[in-house]
Homo-oligomer: A and B are copies of this chain.
Amino acid sequence: MKPGKENSGKGVRSLFLLLPMIVPRQVKKKGSDPFPAFFLLLFLAIFPGVYQPANAGCLMRGTGDLGIVIERASGSVQVVDTTAMSSLFRIEGLGDLSHASAVFSRDERYAYVFGRDGGLSKLDLLCGQLVKRVVQAGNSIGGAISQDGSLVAVSNYTPGGVKVFDAVSLEQVADLPAATADGGSSKVVGLVDAPGQRFVYTLYDAGEIRSVDMNDPDKPEVQRFPDIGRLPYDALITPDGRYYIAGLFGEDGLAMLDLWQPQQGVRRILDNYGKGEEKLPVYKMPHLEGWAVAGRQVFLPAVGRHEVLVVDSDSWKETGRVAVHGQPVFVVAEPGGRRVWVNFAHPLNDTVQVIDTLTLQVVHTFEPGKGVLHMEFSPRGEAVWISVRDADVVQVYDTASFTQLAELPVEKPSGIFFTARAHRTGL
């Protein structure tokens, strides 16, 4: 942990307030030895560390411009400042972060990091500290924070199901099993938060979407939507919190639930999605969080093709395709939706392309370096941060001019997450 620029010293100040109670007593007795008090003060002066308060080294500053970058190989993260474009802290000891994601507390002070090994870590961004870490399952793949910020949920592969924790203490408050028809436990994928203090998730082995109302954490109310199709491998929720969409590994098309009208049940959209493509192993399917919603248009990676698909979000029909450099991995919309930025699968993962959503043209192509893994925009979109794994750097670009603004040394960077996500649904 690097020292903070501004320190908070509540403990030391309290000590000063106590001194009048100690010292004057000695002074009043004229001629008596004032040394005990003096040496006490001297001791305090020489060993201020003894009275180091718990929050020494913590920063007293706003948290709206903070973020974290995952160092995937070393189980660590860096806490970054998006205004200064600099690193504030490195926090270690987070376990296996080879496939990690994060959400933020509603005050934007704490990050919750979900590791591949089932670890849930709570980080204090102001103090650069790991506050608490629980290994809540054998193998997990993602998490979410409730609308009001009070609950953190984690979805698991092993033993399956969802566990819900108090966001302050990380005490477990609910266990949502995911039993399959044959009595087994299903892997859970595509866990997101939704309006109405809900979590929505998908049972991989059971082909089922579930929506759970957590208003009373002691009595979660689970709505089940079975028979959505075979082997749903991932899911997303649109930024307005309305549509929940699961990708199906076992068949073509996607399963969509309108959370504003759940009584209408799940319907199939984009019948062609995946059709005719060679069935690929799950780990090569593009993540659905790599979709961009820009106004009425949705941009998503084509499976196995060098194309970005364009879909109308009213009809959920494909309206166009954009030819791109490689197999797209993440297709991310700039805040406001004017452009989407695309990165690509190995071996073409050294390149980023930018598509104008009005003209559907690629307007810019550049090569940050080998292993572009993730892109995150500043909240109002003036800058984008890009992880370049093999170069061990994160690069920051001006989105208007495409000029590089900064480069930060980061060990094998992968996911980048800014605190503004705290204010958004489904992130």
Chain A residues with CB under 8 Å of chain B are 6-10, 12-13, 16-17, 19-20, 22-24, 27, 34-35, 37-38, 41-42, 44-46, 48, 51, 55-56, 58-65, 82-83, 104-110, 125-126, 147-149, 195-197, 215, 240-242, 260-261, 295-296, 314, 335-338, 358, 378-383, 400, 419-420, 422-425
Contacts and interface: CB of A to CB of B under 8 A. Distances in A.
Contact of A62 (B23, B35, B107): B107
A423 B423 contact: yes
B12 A64 contact: no
Given A63-B108, A64-B109, 4 more contacts: A12-B13, A148-B382, A195-B336, A260-B338
A104 B242 CA distance: 29
Copies in the complex: 2
A62 B147 contact: no
Given A64-B64, A107-B64, A423-B420, A56 B13 contact: yes
Given A23-B42, A147-B382, A195-B338, A295 B358 contact: no
B64 A60 contact: no
Contacts of A83: 106-107, 149
A366 to B, nearest CB: 19
A109 B400 contact: no
Contact of A10 (B6, B104, B109, B336): B6
Given A7-B8, A296-B296, A61 B13 contact: no
21 contacts: A8-B8, A12-B13, A17-B48, A19-B46, A19-B48, A24-B46, A34-B38, A38-B41, A41-B41, A61-B109, A62-B105, A62-B126, A64-B104, A64-B106, A64-B107, A65-B106, A196-B400, A240-B338, A242-B337, A260-B338, A260-B358
